[in-house]
């Protein structure tokens, strides 16, 4: 009994020091840069890479796919793990491009908190607002970091007001900038009134952070210092103070200012994460019953990715640990089938690099390579059975027929399509009419097709030809309704390979509405749309 209690206490203690979070932002707000800056500040890597690697500038460690490097955007998701201030941080990087919002949704299902990154000049942008809605839907608390304060931007009070007015969060600054955006002089900590001076480095490298007494800062900065103090007094008068319960309850957001590229203010963000971000807690299963973190092991697959290791051409299933202690080699049970799965090759992931992991605790992310049959949303457990809520697929809005350019490489073509389907990189729709040699690919955004074509050629050695089809509306249906729909003009019925669902594609929304009016008893069910989270 004492051994069992000791293990429960160990799991609880390890879970309590973990912080598992994602960074959400609009493209070009600096998400990849802040991701790497946090890792550098925590001494996890020695040099932060710029998104566009040029000359002596490294490409970001977390963006490993060739297309990401050439375009300067995040397409895939990666995991960074590092220690900071006694806490273990698991940072799940997310795709920044709106066309990959479905992948971002999956990642956000695996975190306990998020950092919302704002551009000081642009404030809340469209993709940020969508991702905020995802976090709100999943009760994910948010810490806000206003980035690029070393460049021209808006007034800080104006940005706070925008946060409150547009997304309804009470903004509670933890630090405050001295000097306007673009003429940044440093940050005042609201906790103790200390001042850290911003000293830009020649050539745009890592800035110096110089601690100064308030008296010296006042003497050097004059009116800029007095203005900052007046603004701080105003914040106190309006009650812009952080309440921990309001933060975890999704009512308020701690706000920090800084500049990710010169790595100024990033350590304050890490301090806020370790201090305020929630550790792992009991997760509700598919029945709505919470499974405590100290219960036997359980977790869920939130991502499957191939092509991360060109030497082995394998695939990796990313699993968020929800409860218990994971031990490498233990046999896990798959919730969907009851089939056993041996985990002797479990790994941790840092960007594209991997190391063997022997133990893991709630909040951690482990990777299982080449685990055929593991798909996004699969529950895994040891001991009492548990199934977690499914991670929904989004309604596709773009459709193309995919064929192998070289019919002699059909074997590679089929393997590649099956792999991309299992990852959720694209939805694969099949029908007896079109056959397996010409599946229809369905995507949330058109850039997904470019990724498919690139990966089919470079990872699976099977270049493809993509051609458009005359459909732009997709709905769920059932066998009885599908049989009738398949006979109608402007409609085609498919099976979604990964889930087995029947879906009907319609030529346009007018044809869809006409059929709904004429045949109200048919099952024509709307799927979760990318903009509806």
446 is an annotated ligand-binding site residue: no
Written as six digits, the tokens of 293 are 């973190």
Backbone dihedral angles phi then psi of residue 418, each to the nearest 5 degrees:
-65, -40
Distance between CA atoms of residues 465 and 453, nearest Å: 8
CA–CA separation, 338 vs 340, rounded Å? 7
In whole angstroms, give the CA distance from residue 299 to residue 387: 9
Structure tokens at 429: 């729709």
- Secondary structure, 3-state, 377-414: CCEEECCCCCCCCCCCCECCCEEEEEEECCHHHHHHHH
20 is in an annotated binding site: no
Tell whether residue 95 is among the known ligand binding residues: yes
Instruction: Supply the DSSP string of 186-203, one letter for each residue.
Output: EEEETTT--EEEEEPPGG
CA distance 171 to 194: 21
Distance CA 356, CA 347 (A): 4
Q: Write the DSSP assignment of 504-524 as a string of letters.
A: EEES-HHHHHHHHHH-TTS--
DSSP symbols for 2-27 = HHHHHHHHHHHHHHHTEEEEEEE--T
Rounded to whole angstroms, the Cα distance separating 307 from 370 reads 11
CA-CA distance, 201 to 197, in Å (whole number)? 13
Annotated binding residue 56: no
Q: Is 359 part of any known ligand binding site?
A: no
Q: If you write DSSP's letter for every residue of 45-94 in order, what string do you get? A: SSSPPBSS--TTPPBPSS--SHHHHHHT---S-EEEEEEETTEEEEEEE-
For 117-137, letters b (16+ CB in 10 Å) and e give bbbbeebbeebbebbbebbbe
Binding positions for GTP are 93-97
Binding positions are 93-97
């Amino acid at each position: 009994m004492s051994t069992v209690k000791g293990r429960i206490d160990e799991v609880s203690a390890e879970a309590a020091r973990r912080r598992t979070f994602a960074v959400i932002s609009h493209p070009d707000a600096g998400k990849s840069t802040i991701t790497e800056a946090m890792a550098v500040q925590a001494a996890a890597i020695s040099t932060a890479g710029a998104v566009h690697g040029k000359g002596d500038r490294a490409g970001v460690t977390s963006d490993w796919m060739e297309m990401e490097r050439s375009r300067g955007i995040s397409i895939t998701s990666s995991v960074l793990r590092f220690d900071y201030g006694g806490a273990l941080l698991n940072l799940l990087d997310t795709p920044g491009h709106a066309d990959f919002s479905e992948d971002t949704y999956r990642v956000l299902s695996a975190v306990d908190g998020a950092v919302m990154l704002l551009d000081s000049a642009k404030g809340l942008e469209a993709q940020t607002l969508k991702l905020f809605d995802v976090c709100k839907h999943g009760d994910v608390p948010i810490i806000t970091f206003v980035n690029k304060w070393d460049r021209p931007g808006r007034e800080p009070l104006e940005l706070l007001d925008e946060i409150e007015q547009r997304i309804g969060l009470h903004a509670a600054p933890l630090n405050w900038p001295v000097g306007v955006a673009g003429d940044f002089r440093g940050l005042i900590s609201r906790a103790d009134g200390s001042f850290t001076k911003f000293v830009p480095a020649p050539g745009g490298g890592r800035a110096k952070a110089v601690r100064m007494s308030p008296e010296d800062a006042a003497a050097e900065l004059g009116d800029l210092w007095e203005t900052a103090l007046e603004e701080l007094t105003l914040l106190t008068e309006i009650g812009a103070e952080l309440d921990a319960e309001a933060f975890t309850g999704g009512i308020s957001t701690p706000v920090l200012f800084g500049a990710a590229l010169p790595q100024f203010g990033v350590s304050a963000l890490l301090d806020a994460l370790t201090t305020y971000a929630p550790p792992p807690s009991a997760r509700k299963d598919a029945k709505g019953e919470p499974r405590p973190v100290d219960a036997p092991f359980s977790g869920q697959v939130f991502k499957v990715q191939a092509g991360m290791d060109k030497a082995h051409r394998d695939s990796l299933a990313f699993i968020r640990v929800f409860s218990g202690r994971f031990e490498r080699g233990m046999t896990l049970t798959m919730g969907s089938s009851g089939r056993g799965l041996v985990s002797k090759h479990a790994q941790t992931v840092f960007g594209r690099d991997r190391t063997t992991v022997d133990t893991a605790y709630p909040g951690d992310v482990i990777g299982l390579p080449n685990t055929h049959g593991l798909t996004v949303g699969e529950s895994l457990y040891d001991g009492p059975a548990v199934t977690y809520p499914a991670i929904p697929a989004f309604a596709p809005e773009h459709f193309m027929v995919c064929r192998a350019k070289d019919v002699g490489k059909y074997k590679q073509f089929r393997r590649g399509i099956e792999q991309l389907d299992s990852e959720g990189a694209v939805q694969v729709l099949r029908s007896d009419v079109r056959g397996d040699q010409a599946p229809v690919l369905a995507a949330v955004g058109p850039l997904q097709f470019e990724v498919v074509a690139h990966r089919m050629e470079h990872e699976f050695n099977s270049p493809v030809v993509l051609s458009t089809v005359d459909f732009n509306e997709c709905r769920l249906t059932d066998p009885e309704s599908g049989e009738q729909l398949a006979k109608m003009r402007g409609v085609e019925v498919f099976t979604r390979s990964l889930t087995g669902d029947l879906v009907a594609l319609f030529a346009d929304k007018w044809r869809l509405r006409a059929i709904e009016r004429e045949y109200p008893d048919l099952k024509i069910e709307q799927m979760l749309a990318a903009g509806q989270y």
